[in-house]
A and B are shown apart, each in its own frame.
Chain A
Amino acid sequence: MPTAWVHFNAQRKAAGQELLALTADRSGTLRATWLDPSDGRQTWMDWGVSGGRFPSLSVVLPEVAWDEREIHDLFGYLPEGHPDLRPLVRTPRWPTTFLPLGGSRRPPLWREVEPDLPALQVQGEGVTIMKVGPTHAGIIESGHFVFSLIGENILHLDVHLFQNHRGLETLLEGETLDAVPRVVGRTCAADTVSHQTNWALAVEHLSDFTAPPALTRQRVVLLEAERVLSHLNDLAQIPAGVGFQVAHQRALSIKEYWQRCLKALFGHRFLFDTVRPGWAKATSGEALVEAVRGLRQRFGPWRRLVEGHVGFQDRMRGVGVTSLSQVIRLGAQGVAARAAGKPFDARQMLPWYGEFEVKPVTGVEGDVKARFMVRLEELEESLRILEAAAPRLPASPPRPAYFALPPDPSGRVVTFTESPHGLNVHDVTLESGRVVRYHIRAATFRNWPLLAQAVGGNAVADFPLINKSFELCYSCTDR
């Protein structure tokens, strides 16, 4: 007999809704918040943890397997019936009594033990276990990958992320409104505007402030400028996976051009500290149009180069295939989900984008090539939005802020935006102007399990290519 908790969540999933966030708080209450893509309405359910336990959803809702493991690691609540309760965030160096969000906030003394966690491996004749990372040869983040190989083929991949847990959610507890943006904006350098905007939306919602069009357009410009940067980077990395250095380096130079434009337009190469409640960094429409024109001049020839390269196109086809049913089952988001045919783009749920008529770009095959092409098209779409928004930006010098921060907003709200990596959600609880609980659920958190499934059956030499086609963020995941 399924409990009401399981029943509620399974029903939402069956109805085609998107899970925004599943998290707990110190008082022992779980909350699952769902979004109905047809009308943008949110529904949620609370469930009290009893005796430190709660019924696990993972068997009926595999996409929350990591959320529940995280809750187990950080709060100490036990999801009963979870099929795989190995530590996810927890390292053996934490004393067993240390619960970052459950007990004392003071960091304990680390234990002097090897940080190895049990890995899921295939056993049998001729199976090789290959461990890669957490330190890699390139400038990338820390992830430990345990491959089970048979010859050159991948049988199973076990990903061990969370190597650099920063405890952002613990850090934000009790913070004042002024202190939050600095931390939230630094959750991730690739999705920073999206994170900052989520916080701004939360405060504005709890203060009953509706942003005027002048402000929302500035934010749309920032969000799209960020998407262009992130997509340029991801597009640059994919050719590197097959040794196509010419396309790789040229795309990096286009990315550098864009970062210099961002520095000139908004004062920061990564767009840190550009959005706050009631405010967004403004720029002039003409300068923006000029920057986009320069980008188009550089991007056009590059696009012709990669689209006309038979070897490169062939190399991406049929590699790292994800099916639509897999994508839906694991609740994947962003480019990875759209490339397999899931037409969800959170921008359509945001009223700000109404005047720009965003169309989600989708693929069919769900392979590396589809993800590459979806990014190409989305980048062009973002450029189009930037050009459409530029003439509507206010000509007068920007106002310092559109509303004054109220002294003590209270309440709980779930806000989201479409970051370059997909649906980015913040579940924020404030009480008298201070943060009680801040939960960040970035898109890549849902996509990592999909990546692990997508590589099975592929040649191990193709893993870098597949990995780069997902280009998942570690930083957003390991907050």
Chain B
Amino acid sequence: MAVWTQVVGTATLFAGSPLLWGLTQKVKARLQGRRGSPVWQMYWVIVKNWRKETTVPEHSSWVFRIAPSVSMAALSTGLAMVPAGGAPPSGWPHDLLVVFFLLALERFWVGLAGMDSAGTFGGLGASRVTTLGTGIEPALLAAFGVLWQVSGHTAIAPLAQGLSDVPGGGLPWVMAASSFGLVLLAELGRLPVDNPDTHLELTMIHEATILEASGRLLSLWQWAMTLKLTLLLSLGWAILGPPWGSNPWVNLGLRCGELAATAVVLGWVESRFTKLRYLQLPTYTAVAAGVGVLALFLVAGGFGV
């Protein structure tokens, strides 16, 4: 496999992320009976904010200024690790656990930025993001653990290959996929966990941490948000989706189609739910983690392997 297939694939997904975001927004708008802004809107927003003046809170430090860049870097690296057009070239790092820790790194910096914004909402948001993280991470780890047990690999490509060799997927696979699906909504800050579109500061989780950001910092945060969406969705398809075909370009095209379809479904799912009570979120993540851990026990007991 040529290196540049993966490079082109990663670049496509990187550049297409805001479009994916716009697609979800469009579906939501349509379901609300609105025409909605164009699917390209996120690009204009990112460019608009990039051109604006950047102001930072008086009491913030360098942490606040570099946090969006770190976040961008972590998510871009994660995205580059997910096979985009077939098994990645040999020597290309693509370990699932690394992606997991990159996500944790991103969350850590989101929390830091929130606290460093020196505002009440930033602190509140940071507290909420990290609290939620303590529920998300075990669930994500459990789901990944099941996949590792079933396939015998932690590297994404052989893991996906190993999974597709197990006939019918098996119950543990279904449970791990459910757990991953629940975590996905939480990790992406989507309803019913968080509402990315709200202007109500008091209810915000992720948005509260970047409330003080402006100009280029905000622009980077917004692109990072769309990257996270692409990363998690394409990771999901890479490990849980149908196996690869032989032509990498067809594979890449299929991946884009899969992502677009998921973005549409995501918009639909979001429109069905109201936001859960914040104090009920631990129950939500506990269910996700519980299902994952249960699946892990089943696999450890030799069930479904």
Contacts and interface: CB of A to CB of B under 8 A. Distances in A.
A45 interface: no
Contact of A253 (B33, B197, B279): B33
B124 A243 contact: no
Contact of A459 (B120, B192, B274, B279): B279
Interface stretch (A124-132, A164-172, A179-187, A440-448): A124-132
A239 interface: yes
Contacts of B274: 239, 242-244, 309, 311-312, 315
B278 A152 contact: yes
Interface in B156-213: 191-192, 195, 197-203
B278 A138 contact: no
A462 interface: yes
A245 B124 contact: no
A128 B120 CA distance: 9
Given A130-B124, A131-B120, A246 B31 contact: yes
User: Which of A130, A239, A242 neighbours the largest number of chain B CB atoms within 10 Å of its CB?
Assistant: A242
A461 interface: yes
B275 interface: yes
A470 to B, nearest CB: 15
Given A132-B201, A312-B274, A461-B203, A249 B34 contact: yes
A461 B120 contact: no
A208 B65 CA distance: 72
Contacts of B247: none
Interface residues of A, number: 30
Contact of A243 (B34, B191, B202): B191
B195 A138 contact: no
A409 interface: no
B200 A137 contact: yes
Nearest to A130: B120
Interface string B249-290: 000000000000000000000010111111100000000000
A464 interface: yes
B246 interface: no
Contacts of A250: 32-33
User: Which of B31, B121, B273 neighbours the largest number of chain A CB atoms within 10 Å of its CB?
Assistant: B273
A242 B34 CA distance: 19
Contacts of A245: 28, 32, 197, 271
A459 B197 contact: no
A148 to B, nearest CB: 12
B277 A138 contact: no
Contact of B277 (A249, A312, A462): A462
B202 A132 contact: yes
B203 A464 contact: yes
Given A311-B273, A315-B274, A459-B277, A138 B199 contact: yes
Contacts of B124: 130, 460
Contacts of A253: 33
Contacts of B273: 243, 311
A332 B202 CA distance: 26
A152 B279 contact: yes
A459 B278 contact: yes
Interface string A242-258: 11111011100100000
Nearest to B196: A243
Interface in A443-479: 459-464
Interface in A134-152: 137-138, 152
Nearest to A154: B202
A243 B31 CA distance: 14
Interface string A412-455: 00000000000000000000000000000000000000000000
Interface string A309-342: 1011001000000000000000000000000000
A246 B271 contact: yes
B120 A243 contact: no
Nearest to A249: B32
A461 B32 contact: no
| 3 nearest A-B residue pairs (beta carbon) | A249-B32, A243-B195, A243-B275
Given A137-B201, A152-B278, 19 more contacts: A128-B123, A137-B200, A239-B274, A241-B203, A242-B274, A243-B192, A243-B195, A243-B275, A245-B28, A245-B197, A246-B31, A246-B271, A249-B34, A253-B33, A311-B273, A463-B202, A464-B200, A464-B202, A464-B203
Interface of B: 28, 31-34, 120-121, 123-124, 191-192, 195, 197-203, 271, 273-279
28 contacts: A128-B120, A130-B120, A130-B124, A137-B199, A137-B200, A138-B199, A138-B200, A152-B278, A240-B200, A242-B274, A243-B192, A243-B197, A243-B203, A244-B275, A245-B197, A245-B271, A246-B33, A246-B271, A248-B32, A311-B273, A311-B274, A315-B276, A459-B277, A459-B279, A460-B202, A461-B203, A464-B200, A464-B203
